[in-house]
Amino acid sequence: MSVYSIIELVGTSPTSWEDATQRALATACRTLEDLRVAEVIKQDVTVENGKITSFRVRLNISFKYHERA
């Protein structure tokens, strides 16, 4: 039987929501083990002077919980 933790992350990108998602996951993979599922729960953009300046994605990421010995 496995137990999973879920955290919320926000990824940003100047080009797309997909890139923002990839950046968030790449960053999470550097410190978390056994990532299983990433669920996009919200997408938005920041706007300056009528133009999109960044794409933002809020993700719930689940990863396997490992007990410390």
CB atoms within 10 A of CB 55: 20
Q: Is residue 69 part of a domain?
A: no
Averaged over successive runs of 10 residues, the pLDDT of the chain (69 residues) comes to: 90 97 95 91 97 97 84
What's residue 33's pLDDT? 86
Q: Is residue 50 part of a domain?
A: yes
Number of domains in the chain: 1
CATH number, domain at 8? 3.30.1660.10
**Range 42-46 contact pairs with CB under 8 angstroms and sequence separation of 24 or more:** 43/17
Q: Is residue 34 part of a domain?
A: yes
What pTM value is reported for the model? 0.83
Domain hosting residue 11, numbered range: 4-64
